[in-house]
Amino acid sequence: MRDKNYVIRVSSQKGGVGKTTIAVNLACALSDMGYKTLLIDTDVSNPSVGFHLGLEEVNVGFAEFLTGKVSANRAILKYSTTGLNALPGTIHGVIPPEFKDEIFVHLKDKVDKLNYDFIILDTAPGEIERAVIKGMDAFVDHAIVVTTPELSSVTAGMRLAAMYDKHGIDNDIVINRFRNKSYDVSVDEIEESYGKKELAIFPEDDSVPESIAMHIPVVIYDRQAKFSKIAAKLAASYKHKGAVQPSEKQAQRKPARALFWHSLRLAFRRIFLGR
Ligand SMILES: Nc1ncnc2c1ncn2[C@@H]1O[C@H](COP(=O)(O)OP(=O)(O)OP(=O)(O)O)[C@@H](O)[C@H]1O
Ligand SMILES: [Mg+2]
- Considering the chain, what percentage of its residues have pLDDT values greater than 70? 87
Q: 96-153, pLDDT tens digit by residue?
A: 777 777 788 888 889 999 999 999 999 999 877 777 777 777 789 999 999 999 999 9
Distance 121 CA to ligand 1 centre (A): 16
Helix H segments across 134-201? 151-166, 187-194
Q: Per residue in 190-200, is it b (16+ CB within 10 Å) or e — as a string?
A: beebbeeebbb
Question: Residue 272: is its pLDDT beyond 70?
Answer: no
Q: In what order do the strands lie in the sheet with 6-11?
A: 77-79, 84-87, 37-41, 118-122, 6-11, 142-147, 171-178, 200-203
Q: 43-99, pLDDT tens digit by residue?
A: 988 999 999 998 877 888 999 999 999 999 999 998 877 789 999 998 777 787 777
pLDDT for the residue numbered 271: 61
Return residues with CB closer than 5 A to ligand 2 (ion). 19-20, 48
**Ligand 1: which residues within 6 Å by Cβ?**
12, 15-21, 43, 46, 48, 125, 176-177, 202, 204-205, 208-209, 212, 227
pLDDT for the residue numbered 96: 79
Q: 207 near 1, Cβ under 8 Å?
A: no
44: closest CA among 165, 153, 131, 138? 131
Index of the ligand 1 atom closest to the CA of residue 14 = 25
User: What is the reported pTM?
Assistant: 0.90
Which range is least confidently modeled, 8-12, 36-40, 98-102, 237-241? 98-102
Cβ neighbours around 87 below 10 Å, total: 26
Average pLDDT over residues 258-264: 64
Distance 269 CA to ligand 1 centre (A): 25
Ligand nearest to the CA of 16: 1
Distance 123 CA to ligand 2 centre (A): 6
Distance 23 CA to ligand 2 centre (A): 9
Count of positions (residues) in the chain: 275
Domains of the chain: 6-273 (3.40.50.300)
Residue bearing the bigger pLDDT, 45 or 175:
175
Question: Residue 192: is its pLDDT beyond 80?
Answer: yes
Which residue of 10, 20, 214 sits with most ligand 1 atoms within 8 Å of its CB, as the best mutation to test the pocket?
20
Distance 82 CA to ligand 1 centre (A): 21
Q: 241 near 6, Cβ under 8 Å?
A: yes
Alpha-carbon span 164 to 196, nearest angstrom: 14
